[in-house]
Chains A and B, each alone.
Chain A
C-alpha cells in the first residue's frame, strides 16, 4: 500500500506549475509537489492504492496529451520545469482566504487574450511581488463559462488525458448511442446509464415514479450475463464527465475564491470533493451512486484546468433535482483527510456566517476601484491573516499540542472528532410513518411554522421595528414572561429570523443581535463581557467590559463607527438579580440614555419580576410587557397536529386527549410533545395508529408518582401482625432505607432509638397503595 501511494503525489495539473510552492495548508508538509520528484512524504493523498495502481505514472506523458482545447495548459506544465527551490517555499505566504464572502467584487473579464508565452515570461519576476498584485474576484468569466466562489467544477487530472478527448457535454443513450435530442433519457439508478424510453426492451411509455433499474442491471443481479450493446466499429463510446469523475479520472472541486495572478493567469482555491471509493473505508453499501464527500483539503489550481460546472447538492436539494442533468451530485458528509473520518455538513452555519458581515462590507467594496491600491492593501491584510491562521494550524498539527478547551473562544482539535464510518442505518431513507412522527415530535426539531403565537409575534415585531426604524432609535425594553414551555424564546428567535431576512432584502436597517442566557453565565457580572464580545468580538474581563460598554452607550460618544442599533435578548432574566441588583440596573439603564441605540428584550418565567425588584429598576423595565399564557388544549392540539401534518400515525382523539391532559396540568408544549412521542414509542412494534390507550399509558407513566408503585412492592414492615418479630436493628435498617428513598423522612441512623420518622406522603396514598396488596391483607385493618 505504502509504495503505491507514494507513487501518486500530485493532484492536479497545477501541481507541476510554480504554484505548487504553496504549501498545502492543513497538514503542513511543504515538500514541492512536482511530477518528477518522488518525495516519500505523501501524507494527504487522495487516491487509494488500487486506483492509483491503474495509472502508469512514469510513462512519457507528453505524447499522451491531446491537442484539444486543453493542449496549451498541459504543455505549459511541462515547459515549466519543476524547479522549486526550498527558499521560495517560505517566501510565498499568500494564499486566498477561505472565507469567500469577504471579497465582493463584480468583475468580468474574457480570458481569450491570455497567451502562454507572456505568462511564462512573467513568471520569472513575479515571484517576489506576487503578494502585492494579486487581485481577487467574486466572479470570473473564463472560456465562456462564468465561475464564482461557491461554484462546483470538474477539474482535469493530468494523467487522465489519454482516455478520451472529446469531453462530451451531452449524454448519450447507452443502447443507440445517440444523444437525447428531444426524447427523454431515463437514468438507471444502479449503473447510472441513460436510456431512451424507446430503446428499452420492453419500451417504456413514461418515466416511472421512484427508483428504476434498467434491465441490464436486473439481469446482472439475477446472475445472468447480459452485455450492453457494443458501439459501431470505429466509433468509440464517449464517456461523460460524470462517468470519468466516478471512475476517478476527473476531480471535482468547489471554488473557494478566485484571483488573478500578477502575470494575468487566473487561479482559484479548490476544495476537493472525493468519491467514496477513495476514502479510507472505501465505498460503503449505503453510498448512493452519485454521492461525493467534501474534504477539508485545499489546493490552488489554475483556472485552465477547469472543465466545466457540476452541481454538488445537499440531500434536500438533491431530492428536488429530479431532472437536473447528468452533472448532479449529492454531498452530505465532509471527509477529514487527515483522520479519515466523516462528519455531516452542517447547513446552518453557512447561513449564519455571512448575513451581517456581507452587509457591512458592501459599502467599502463599492467605493474602491478594481485595480487601485485599496485592493493591494486588502490582499496584504488577507495574507497576514492567512499567515496567522496557518501558524495556528501548524502549531496544532505537529509541534505543540494545544489544549482543546481553553482557548479564548476558539476550540482546537475538533477535527479529530468524526465517524470512522457512516453508520448504515442512518442512510436508509425510507422512514415509516411512526418514525417520521417520532422525529417531528422531538423537541429538538424546529417546526416549520409556529402556530398559536401569531399575536405575540406580531407584537414583538412591531416593538422591534418601532425601535429600530426611527432615526433616533430610542432605547426600549420589553419584558416577556410566561411559564416554561410556552414558546417565549422560540417566538422571539423566529421574529429575529424574519427580521434578518427583511434586512437582507433591504427593507429595514441592519442591526446587531446578541443573545444571552442567564443560566449559562458563570456569574451575573459575566454578562458584560459576553455582551461586549457579542458586539465587538473581543474578549475582555467583565470590569473592563463594563467600562467599555458604559462608554459605548453613553451619549458623549456620538461619533463612533458602529451606528447600528443593537438588540439584546436576555433569556432567564431572573438569574441576573444580584444582591444590590447592579447588573440589571446597568443593563436596563443603557437603553434610556440618548444615542445608546440599545434594545433589551428580557425573558423570564415570573410575571411579577419587575415588582420584586428595586423601584428604580422596575420603572425602567416594567413598562412594556408581553405575556405568554399557558397553551390551552386547542392550541396544544394545533401544535401537535401541525407537526404531524401529512403523517398518518395518530388518531385525532388521541391527540386531543393528550393535549387536554397537559393543558389541565401545565400547558407546557414540551410536555405534550414528549407524551405523544412516548406514545409513539409504545406502539413501535404494533403496526397500528396511536390510539387512546397508548396516550393514556404514556401519561400515566409521566405523571404517576413513583412512590405508589414502590409502596406496593416494598409492602410495609412497620406493623407485623402474627409474623416473627424481626428485631429492632433490622427495623432500623428498613427505616433508614425507606428514608433514603424519601418515603419516610427520618433523621440519621446513629440516633437509633431516638430517630424520628415521619411519613413523607399523604395517608391516602398509602391506603391506596396497600389496598390491593394480596400478601398483607391484615395490613389494611390498621390503616
Chain B
C-alpha cells in the first residue's frame, strides 16, 4: 500500500457508512419520539415486565422498518444478554403453516443447541412451540417473533398467527410478535378471532420530510473525529460540506428528489451516487456532485429506450400512434404494415422497407417493451397476427423524436398532422 490519498479514504468511509443500515438508522435512535424509541419501549417492556405484546410495523418499502427493528433488537441484546431469542420468518418463504412451524422449531433449536429433526409433524412442532414458550417464560427469556411480509401470513386460515397469538395469552409465556408489512391495511386482513387476540400496536413508518433529510445527510457525510484522516483535511472537508448542505441550491436538489420519493433508501441511493461522483483531486464534495447525481437517480427508462431505436422502428411506432388516433381498437403487425405502406402514397419518400425487415424491427420493439401484446392468449399464433398495444404515450414519443438526432422531418410531419 502506498501513501493513501485522504480523499480516497474519506470516500471509502462515507460509502461504507451508507451501505451500513445500522449506522444510518442510529441517527433515528437519537430522536426522542421516533419509532425506534417506541418499538424499543414495547419490546423491552416485554423483556422486563413480561407483558406480551404484538406490534405491526407499517410503511412503504425503503422506510427502514426492518432496519429500525434490527437496531432495536441489537441494542436490547446488548442490554439484556441471554434473555432474548429472536425467531425470524418471512412471508415469502414461510406462508405455509407447516413450513413456518418447522422453521420456528429449527431456529429455536439452533438457539438453544437442541437437536432438531426435520421429520417432525405439524402436531409435534406446535406442541414443541408451546412447551418451549412455557420453558422460556419460566426462565425469563423472551422470544421475539419477527414476521416479515406480514400480509402474506394472513392468507388461508391463519393458523400460525392464531397459535402464536393464542399462546401469548397464557401467563407463563413471554413473547413478542412483530409483524413487518408494507400494506397499510395489514391489520384489517386478520380474521376476527385473530384480530381480537392481537394487541393492536401499530407503528407507522413514514418517509422523512426535507429538513430531516438535511440532518441525516450531515450525520452520514461529516467525517468522524476518530478516523485516520489528517485533521486539517477533515476540518476543511466538513466545513465545505456544511456550507453546501446549508445552501439554497442543495435544498432545491433535495426538494426535487423528495418530490417523487422521499423514503430513506431512496435518499441513501442518491447520496451514494453523489459520493461516487466526488472529485478525488479537489478532495471534497461539491454541489455539482449532488446535481449530477440527481438525473442518474431519476431516470426515464422508456424515453431512453426510444433514443436507441432505429428510424424504421420509429416509423412503426408513429404508425401505431396514428392508428390509435384513428381509433382503431385492435391492431396487429399486419394493420401496422398497411399503415406503413400508405405513407409513401401520400408523401414522396424512398424509405420503404420490405415486410420481413419491418417484422424484424417490430420484434425488437416488442423485446424492448415499447410495444406489448394485448393479452396472453394465442401464444401459438405467429407474431404478425396477435393484437398489440403501444406502451408509451404521445408526449413521450414526441419528446423522443425531438431528442433523436437524425430523425427524418417526415416523421415529425406524420406525428403533427394527425396528432
Closest chain-B Cβ to A484's Cβ sits at a distance in Å of 4
Say whether A517 contacts B166, CB under 8 Å: yes
Q: Which residues of A sit under 8 angstroms from B60, Cβ to Cβ?
A: 710, 714, 737, 740-741
Say whether B200 contacts A752, CB under 8 Å: no
When chains A and B are docked, how far (Å) is the Cα of A781 from the Cα of B346? 47
Q: Which of B124-132, B225-233, B308-316, B347-355 contacts A (4 or more CB under 8 A)?
A: B124-132
Q: Which residues of B sit under 8 angstroms from A730, Cβ to Cβ?
A: 260, 298, 300
- B residues 112-150 near A (Cβ < 8 Å) are 112-117, 119-128, 131-132, 134-141
- A residues 479-504 near B (Cβ < 8 Å) are 483-485
Question: Known interface pairs A348-B172, A485-B196. Does A717 touch B260 (Cβ–Cβ under 8 Å)?
Answer: yes
Say whether B201 contacts A575, CB under 8 Å: no
Question: Known interface pairs A405-B117, A413-B115. Does A670 touch B196 (Cβ–Cβ under 8 Å)?
Answer: yes
Question: Known interface pairs A416-B113, A728-B396. Does A483 touch B301 (Cβ–Cβ under 8 Å)?
Answer: no
Q: Which of A506-514, A518-526, A559-567 contacts B (4 or more CB under 8 A)?
A: A518-526
A233 at the interface (CB under 8 A from B): no
Instruction: Mark contacts of A628-669 with chain B using CB atoms, 8 A cut-off: 1 yes-contact digit, 0 otherwise.
Output: 000000000000000000000000000000000000000010
Say whether B80 contacts A423, CB under 8 Å: yes
When chains A and B are docked, how far (Å) is the Cα of A519 from the Cα of B164? 11
Question: Known interface pairs A423-B48, A444-B168, A733-B261. Does A742 touch B121 (Cβ–Cβ under 8 Å)?
Answer: no
Q: Which residues of A sit under 8 angstroms from B83, Cβ to Cβ?
A: 419, 423
Q: Which residues of A sit under 8 angstroms from B114, Cβ to Cβ?
A: 403-405, 412-413, 416
Say whether A426 contacts B140, CB under 8 Å: yes
Say whether B184 contacts A442, CB under 8 Å: no
Instruction: Mark contacts of A414-449 with chain B using CB atoms, 8 A cut-off: 1 yes-contact digit, 0 otherwise.
Output: 101111111101100000000100110011111000
When chains A and B are docked, how far (Å) is the Cα of A435 from the Cα of B45? 11
- In the complex, which residue of chain B has the Cβ closest to the Cβ of A435? B49
- A residues 751-765 near B (Cβ < 8 Å) are 751-754, 760
Say whether A706 contacts B157, CB under 8 Å: no
Say whether B169 contacts A438, CB under 8 Å: no
B302 at the interface (CB under 8 A from A): yes
Q: Which residues of A sit under 8 angstroms from B123, Cβ to Cβ?
A: 521-522, 526, 530
B51 at the interface (CB under 8 A from A): yes
Q: Which residues of A sit under 8 angstroms from B300, Cβ to Cβ?
A: 727-730
- In the complex, which residue of chain B has the Cβ closest to the Cβ of A754? B389
Question: Known interface pairs A403-B115, A414-B135, A727-B300. Does A707 touch B185 (Cβ–Cβ under 8 Å)?
Answer: yes
Instruction: Mark contacts of B376-419 with chain A using CB atoms, 8 A cut-off: 1 yes-contact digit, 0 otherwise.
Output: 00000000000001111101100000000000000000000000
- B residues 312-336 near A (Cβ < 8 Å) are none
Q: Contacting B124 at CB < 8 Å: which of A406, A678, A737?
A: A406
Q: Which residues of B sit under 8 angstroms from A438, Cβ to Cβ?
A: 49, 51
A54 at the interface (CB under 8 A from B): no
Q: Which residues of A sit under 8 angstroms from B162, Cβ to Cβ?
A: 519-520
Closest chain-A Cβ to B342's Cβ sits at a distance in Å of 25
When chains A and B are docked, how far (Å) is the Cα of A530 from the Cα of B183? 37
When chains A and B are docked, how far (Å) is the Cα of A438 from the Cα of B114? 35
Q: Which residues of B sit under 8 angstroms from A423, Cβ to Cβ?
A: 48, 80, 83, 140
When chains A and B are docked, how far (Å) is the Cα of A497 from the Cα of B71? 45
Q: Contacting B61 at CB < 8 Å: which of A713, A740, A743?
A: A740
Closest chain-A Cβ to B251's Cβ sits at a distance in Å of 14
Say whether B48 contacts A522, CB under 8 Å: no
Q: Which residues of A sit under 8 angstroms from B128, Cβ to Cβ?
A: 404-405, 411
- In the complex, which residue of chain A has the Cβ closest to the Cβ of B60? A741
When chains A and B are docked, how far (Å) is the Cα of A406 from the Cα of B121? 7
Question: Known interface pairs A346-B138, A403-B117, A707-B184. Does A674 touch B109 (Cβ–Cβ under 8 Å)?
Answer: no
Q: Which residues of A sit under 8 angstroms from B61, Cβ to Cβ?
A: 737, 740
When chains A and B are docked, how far (Å) is the Cα of A407 from the Cα of B128? 9
When chains A and B are docked, how far (Å) is the Cα of A341 from the Cα of B135? 12
A69 at the interface (CB under 8 A from B): no
Instruction: Mark contacts of B166-181 with chain A using CB atoms, 8 A cut-off: 1 yes-contact digit, 0 otherwise.
Output: 1011111100000000
Say whether A404 contacts B138, CB under 8 Å: no
Instruction: Mark contacts of A58-76 with chain B using CB atoms, 8 A cut-off: 1 yes-contact digit, 0 otherwise.
Output: 0000000000000000000
Q: Which residues of A sit under 8 angstroms from B185, Cβ to Cβ?
A: 705-707, 742, 760
B100 at the interface (CB under 8 A from A): no
B193 at the interface (CB under 8 A from A): yes
A188 at the interface (CB under 8 A from B): no
When chains A and B are docked, how far (Å) is the Cα of A519 from the Cα of B199? 19
Closest chain-A Cβ to B386's Cβ sits at a distance in Å of 15
B7 at the interface (CB under 8 A from A): no
Say whether A484 contacts B193, CB under 8 Å: yes
- In the complex, which residue of chain B has the Cβ closest to the Cβ of A684? B41
Closest chain-B Cβ to A488's Cβ sits at a distance in Å of 10
Q: Contacting A713 at CB < 8 Å: which of B124, B171, B207?
A: B207
Question: Known interface pairs A344-B140, A439-B49. Does A522 touch B163 (Cβ–Cβ under 8 Å)?
Answer: no
A223 at the interface (CB under 8 A from B): no
Closest chain-B Cβ to A358's Cβ sits at a distance in Å of 24
A515 at the interface (CB under 8 A from B): no
- In the complex, which residue of chain B has the Cβ closest to the Cβ of A490? B169
Say whether B127 contacts A409, CB under 8 Å: yes
Q: Contacting A702 at CB < 8 Å: which of B41, B50, B200?
A: B200
Say whether B157 contacts A753, CB under 8 Å: no
Closest chain-B Cβ to A314's Cβ sits at a distance in Å of 13
Closest chain-B Cβ to A762's Cβ sits at a distance in Å of 13
A183 at the interface (CB under 8 A from B): no
Q: Which residues of A sit under 8 angstroms from B201, Cβ to Cβ?
A: 678, 701
B182 at the interface (CB under 8 A from A): yes
Q: Which residues of B sit under 8 angstroms from A416, Cβ to Cβ?
A: 112-114
A402 at the interface (CB under 8 A from B): yes
Say whether B131 contacts A411, CB under 8 Å: yes
Say whether B202 contacts A706, CB under 8 Å: yes
Residue among A401, A420, A520, A754 with the highest chain B CB neighbour number at 10 A: A520
- A residues 66-104 near B (Cβ < 8 Å) are none
When chains A and B are docked, how far (Å) is the Cα of A439 from the Cα of B260? 46
Q: Contacting A520 at CB < 8 Å: which of B58, B126, B139?
A: B126
B29 at the interface (CB under 8 A from A): no
Q: Which residues of B sit under 8 angstroms from A754, Cβ to Cβ?
A: 372, 389, 391
Closest chain-A Cβ to B92's Cβ sits at a distance in Å of 14
When chains A and B are docked, how far (Å) is the Cα of A344 from the Cα of B300? 62
When chains A and B are docked, how far (Å) is the Cα of A228 from the Cα of B49? 41
Say whether B184 contacts A710, CB under 8 Å: yes
Q: Contacting B51 at CB < 8 Å: which of A342, A442, A575?
A: A442
Instruction: Mark contacts of A563-584 with chain B using CB atoms, 8 A cut-off: 1 yes-contact digit, 0 otherwise.
Output: 0000000001001000000000
When chains A and B are docked, how far (Å) is the Cα of A728 from the Cα of B167? 49
When chains A and B are docked, how far (Å) is the Cα of A401 from the Cα of B58? 42
Instruction: Mark contacts of B230-265 with chain A using CB atoms, 8 A cut-off: 1 yes-contact digit, 0 otherwise.
Output: 000000000000000000000000001001110000
B214 at the interface (CB under 8 A from A): no
- In the complex, which residue of chain B has the Cβ closest to the Cβ of A484? B196
- In the complex, which residue of chain B has the Cβ closest to the Cβ of A704? B202
Q: Which residues of B sit under 8 angstroms from A417, Cβ to Cβ?
A: 112, 132, 135-136, 139, 141
When chains A and B are docked, how far (Å) is the Cα of A671 from the Cα of B196? 7
When chains A and B are docked, how far (Å) is the Cα of A418 from the Cα of B138? 8
Q: Contacting A341 at CB < 8 Å: which of B137, B139, B183, B259?
A: B139
When chains A and B are docked, how far (Å) is the Cα of A750 from the Cα of B372? 10
When chains A and B are docked, how far (Å) is the Cα of A270 from the Cα of B300? 79
Q: Which residues of B sit under 8 angstroms from A271, Cβ to Cβ?
A: none
When chains A and B are docked, how far (Å) is the Cα of A605 from the Cα of B195? 13
When chains A and B are docked, how far (Å) is the Cα of A711 from the Cα of B204? 12
Question: Known interface pairs A423-B83, A753-B391. Does A444 touch B139 (Cβ–Cβ under 8 Å)?
Answer: no
Q: List 13 A-B contacts (CB under 8 A).
A: A342-B139, A344-B137, A345-B138, A404-B114, A404-B128, A405-B117, A405-B125, A519-B163, A730-B260, A737-B61, A742-B185, A752-B391, A752-B392
A-B pairs, 10 with minimum CB distance: A403-B117, A406-B120, A484-B196, A404-B114, A522-B122, A406-B117, A405-B128, A401-B115, A344-B138, A713-B206
Additional A-B contacts beyond A417-B112, A605-B193 (18; CB < 8 A):
A344-B139, A404-B115, A404-B128, A405-B120, A407-B124, A409-B127, A411-B132, A438-B49, A444-B52, A519-B162, A520-B159, A575-B157, A707-B184, A707-B185, A723-B259, A724-B256, A726-B260, A741-B183
